Structure 1
């Protein structure tokens, strides 16, 4: 298996068209087809189903695809390592986050990473709730993730970066919308919008625990994976939802945010990473995070 064969395979697999793949590789279509046939012969399995109208991956082709991408990624990293100066941080860093819950913590870190380490490729993976993020940290898909705390994940390391009071997002026409604050017990008759139980949302767990302490079990009308979608559903009058105080500044039209009175309902959040997968890029990111995201008192 040669590097040029892997590059050819990946181009055809992503384009699913030999002509476009040949243009992308700046080569004629006939040599590209010959390269693919040699790769298939060497592997002992067809990688593509071809006919006059379409090109599709075979089972073997689907199996090879993630490995081919990793091979080219590693080659790219090797080239960077050779050309990088002493002390240069290079490579790739995958950051997971949920969305609206991280709008005050994610931007400072990513901005600082791009400014201080311009040779570091930072990719952002949004819409991840806590348990899904932990799974991806465990299998190496993510390098670091913004999560809710605490978590039961002994193999992972965490650092707290924020502790926020929860408030309630209400539709603008809610009977309590004009109040300065509201007791959680006064919302026992409302429909709640929460994150899905299956995705292990810390915000959902805190919400259920707070309602239980206030003497009721919330009636859940809708479960959504994205916090901003939950706020949009509040604006649509579907229900209400508990959110950290930092979301007050990004509330959609036709919603209001009220503090909860009578008790402190707190949500802790932090960064999580897998020490087993600690690369120089991850270590540099964690050190920078300590500067731009100091641990709360």
Structure 2
């Protein structure tokens, strides 16, 4: 049984005339009649009562007509789905993310993908530190990810955000009411920071910036994530250098103070494998290119 046989059968069943059905299908009547006879042979039943003047469906033909229409409709849906998948309009893309910078970017990208590619699902994984996200993308566990790295071996990177460092302090701290603060003013303070050795680019940039300002930060407590870190700041355990995107986490008793002068910046990039760009991944990357534009 072939789809073209079902198409011919439905045309004859709806027209109840072989000549009109053949014209509708842009074919001659003889091949259409042969298709119907072959279909009846395959099924082992007669689908039409024929005489020299009329064509009528048999009881079997009437039952078969409903099923034939459903099969042809399903085939059209499958055809459209396959073509859409070939254009990258249907599928799943796994996306890893790291830290608060991603929390700003994720909603923008997810909304744009939902509008422009409604058949594409973003499967979200995280939050992880940037090094872990890069590792998972490189290993093929994830299709793409947000990471605070300027480059990654074997991966494509596209800059999508520049996050400035700023100071987070308790609202009871003497620096909380300042319009800005110089890094060197923080030399005697106790700091809260992300763990060392976990691939936190925020910690590395913070420590490096303090060293360039002439002091080594005294880290009193480590925190595994941005929410915990800011909770410790709110409790007065210490101050912290965070990226400006951390302001999206709203906690009572935390004040954010800009750094004076040219604040250090953390590049946030979209990363993906060079050798494995599927059509659906290319489609999502195009949406990201239009949606996520880095600001100075």
Scaled by the length of structure 2, the TM-score of the pair is 0.68
Quote the residue 1:164 is aligned against: 163
Matched, 1:276 2:270: no
Quote the residue 1:180 is aligned against: 179
Kept after mapping to 2: 8 A contact 1:98/1:226: no
1:219-238 matches, cutoff 5 A:
219-238=218-237
Shift of 1:186: 1.3
1:109-188 matches, cutoff 5 A:
109-151=109-151, 153-188=152-187
For 2:198 and 2:78, the matched residues in 1 are separated by 37
Kept after mapping to 2: 8 A contact 1:160/1:296: no
Question: Does the residue aligned with 2:169 lie in a helix, a strand or coil?
Answer: strand
1:25-174 matches, cutoff 5 A:
83-86=81-84, 87=87, 89-151=89-151, 153-174=152-173
Residues 142 and 266 of structure 1: CA distance in aligned 2, closer, same or farther (over 3 Å): same
For 2:278 and 2:88, the matched residues in 1 are separated by 13
For 1:271 and 1:217, the matched residues in 2 are separated by 31
Quote the residue 1:66 is aligned against: none
Kept after mapping to 2: 8 A contact 1:251/1:257: no
For 2:144 and 2:210, the matched residues in 1 are separated by 31
Shift of 1:84: 3.4
For 1:81 and 1:207, the matched residues in 2 are separated by 54
Listed one character per residue, the Cα deviations across residues 29-54 of structure 1 (whole Å, up to 9, x for unaligned) are xxxxxxxxxxxxxxxxxxxxxxxxxx
For 1:180 and 1:228, the matched residues in 2 are separated by 24
For 1:145 and 1:161, the matched residues in 2 are separated by 12
Shift of 1:254: 0.3
Question: Does the residue aligned with 1:180 lie in a helix, a strand or coil?
Answer: coil
Listed one character per residue, the Cα deviations across residues 115-152 of structure 1 (whole Å, up to 9, x for unaligned) are 2222222111122111000110011111111111224x
Listed one character per residue, the Cα deviations across residues 150-183 of structure 1 (whole Å, up to 9, x for unaligned) are 24x2201101111132110001111211111111
When Rg is computed on C-alpha atoms for both structures, the one with the higher figure is 2
Quote the residue 2:212 is aligned against: 213
Shift of 1:222: 2.4
Scaled by the length of structure 1, the TM-score of the pair is 0.68
Shift of 1:295: 4.0
Which range moves more in the overlay, 263-272 or 200-209? Answer: 263-272
1:17-28 matches, cutoff 5 A:
none
Kept after mapping to 2: 8 A contact 1:100/1:228: no
Q: Which residues of structure 1 form unaligned runs of 5+?
A: 1-78
Shift of 1:103: 2.3
Shift of 1:81: 8.1
Cα RMSD, aligned residues only: 2.1
Kept after mapping to 2: 8 A contact 1:156/1:275: yes
Matched, 1:200 2:199: yes
Residues 222 and 81 of structure 1: CA distance in aligned 2, closer, same or farther (over 3 Å): farther
For 2:112 and 2:124, the matched residues in 1 are separated by 14
How many corresponding residue pairs?
218
